[in-house]
Structure 1
Amino acid sequence: MRPYLLAENNWKNLKEQRFDLAVLPWGATEAHNYHLPYGTDIFEAEAISAAAGKVAWEQGAKVIVLPTIPFGVNTGQSDIYLDINMNPSTQLAIIRDILTVLNRQGIKKFLILNSHGGNDFKTILRELGLEFPEMLLMSCNWYQALDKTLYFDVAGDHADEMETSLIMYLHPHLVLPLSEAGDGNEKKSIFTGVSEKWAWAERRWSSVTEDTGIGNPKKSNAEKGERYFNDIAQKVGELMVEIANADLKKLYK
């Protein structure tokens, strides 16, 4: 039993145990090019939250990692077979219910570990912050924590070299040979503001990419994935330590 994972814990241990921070990993269920499993974002969220929780626990942080939410916002992929969409309003309801439990039981710090680019929890946590003013509500995107150019050769953001290398390390039996992967070519928006990233429009996935991937995965390998995974776990674990140890009355300096 890993004492920082709720799914592995038991009542004998939890009856007397108390935690300062609850972490909710959040993934998605969607196509990842031809070669990666639909559960890629879930597997990443589970593995990174567990490894980061271990880092935090070993530094004395009282962290509990909740079971991963497997569905994310996939509104731009409605025509991709079995990409499962969860609307932001549904996410709001789920988080509200979880926060109600945590707040009632005295856990005042909450972190969403996000593993899917379509999820955006900022506005949800802003709204819920008014309902739970005594709590610290945070989210992080683990895939933005490090400079990927230090680890990978080819840029991308979905089933790319980074994600492929991670899953080759974490679950190699679920990765098809790279010879079967698509090239992950992406069509760009016609709008200058979108290309320059100061304007936004949701990408219609089947119009943007033919193989559902964005970023060429052909240079991926498990060694790259292992190095990146270990550094991500350390980085996210340090964040958990900071949050768990923070004085809620002294959050700014």
Structure 2
Amino acid sequence: MRPYVLAETNWKQIRDEDFSVAVLPWGATEAHNYHLPYATDNILAEEAATKAAEKAWGQQAKVVVLPTIPFGVNTGQMDVKLCMNLNPSTQYAVLKDVAQVLQMHNIDKLVILNAHGGNNFKQMIRELSLEYPNLFTCSVNWWQVTDAKPYFDEPGDHAGELETAAVMHLRPELVLPLEEAGDGSAKTFKISALKEGWASAQRKWTSVTKDTGVGDPKAATAEKGEVFFEKTTDLIADFFVELHGADLEDMYH
């Protein structure tokens, strides 16, 4: 039993525990090239949250990992079979309900640990701060915790080397042989501003990529995934420890 994982613990343990930080892993259920499972983002979010919480718990930080939200924003992938979509407005409704529970039980710090590129919680956090002003809410994008370039030949954007290596490390039994993967080649916008990134728009996924991947996974290894995973969870654990000890009335200098 891991006392920092809510789903694995029990009322006998929980009723006397004084948690300071709740962690909400948030992923998605979507195609990841031919070789990775639909649950890739859920695996990454949950495993990163749990490993970081374990490391933080070892430093006396009272962190609790909530069950993973398995659906994310996939509005650009509705024509990819069984890519499950949760609209941002629905996400916010879920987030509000989670916040209500935390407030009832005197947990005033929430970290959304996100592993899906289509999820964006910035504006939701702004709105949540008005409804629950005593709850400090923040989000962490797992794949952005540290620069991936020193760890991978070509990290990729979706089901590329980074994600493939991480799942090869965490759940190798769910990864098909890499010779079965597509090459992850992808088209970009023709309009300059959209291509350069200072204008933004949703991509229609099936017009961008044939295999649903963006980034070549062929150089991925479980060893690369393990090194990157350990580095990111070290950094996230340090954040949890700092947040555990933070005084919400004295957050700035």
- TM-score, length of structure 2 as denominator length: 0.99
Match of 2:74 in 1: 74
For residues 41 and 141 of structure 2, the distance between their equivalents in structure 1, rounded to whole angstroms, comes to 12
Partner of 1:129: 129
User: Which letter does structure 1 place at the counterpart of 2:166?
Assistant: L
Q: In structure 1, give the amino acid aligned to 2:186.
A: E
Deviations 1:68-100 (A, max 9, x none): 000000000000000000001111110101101
In 2, Cα distance between the equivalents of 1:177 and 1:86?
A: 30
Partner of 2:144: 144
Residues 1:60 and 2:60 are matched in the alignment = yes
Corresponding position of 1:87: 87
Partner of 1:119: 119
Deviations along 1:176-212, whole A, 9 cap, x unmatched?
Answer: 1111100000101112112221110001000000000
Please state whether the residue corresponding to 1:111 is helix, strand or coil.
strand
Match of 1:205 in 2: 205
* TM superposition shift of 1:215: 0.3
Partner-residue secondary structure (3-state), 1:150: coil
Q: Distance in 1 between matches of 2:101 and 2:197?
A: 38
Give the Cα–Cα distance (whole angstroms) in 1 for the partners of residues 197 and 245 of structure 2: 35
The total of aligned residue pairs comes to 253
Alignment of 1:145-164 (within 5 A): 145-164=145-164
Q: Secondary structure at the match of 1:97?
A: helix
Q: Which amino acid aligns with 1:100?
A: Q
* RMSD, matched Cα: 0.7
Tell me, in whole angstroms, the C-alpha distance in 1 between the residues paired with 2:128 and 2:43.
27
The worse-fitting range, judged by mean Cα deviation, of 239-248 and 74-83 is 239-248
Amino acid corresponding to residue 120 of structure 2 in structure 1: D
- Please state how far the C-alpha of 1:54 moved relative to its aligned partner: 0.6
Quote how far apart the aligned CAs of 1:249 are. Answer: 0.6
CA displacement at 1:134 relative to structure 2: 1.2
Match of 2:179 in 1: 179
SS of the residue corresponding to residue 98 of structure 1 reads helix
Q: Which string of whole-angstrom CA distances, capped at 9 and with x for unpartnered residues, describes residues 111-151 of structure 1? A: 10001000001111111110111111101101001111110
- Tell me, what secondary structure is at the counterpart of 2:149? helix
Task: Give 5+ residue unaligned stretches, structure 1.
Answer: none
> Are 1:238 and 2:238 counterparts?
yes
State the TM-score, normalized to the length of structure 1.
0.99
Deviation at 1:241, TM superposition (A): 1.1
Q: Displacement of 1:155 after TM fit?
A: 3.6
Residue aligned with 2:137, SS: strand
| In 1: Cα distance, 2:220 partner to 2:179 partner | 12
Identity %: 54
Could you say which residue in structure 2 is the equivalent of 1:34? 34
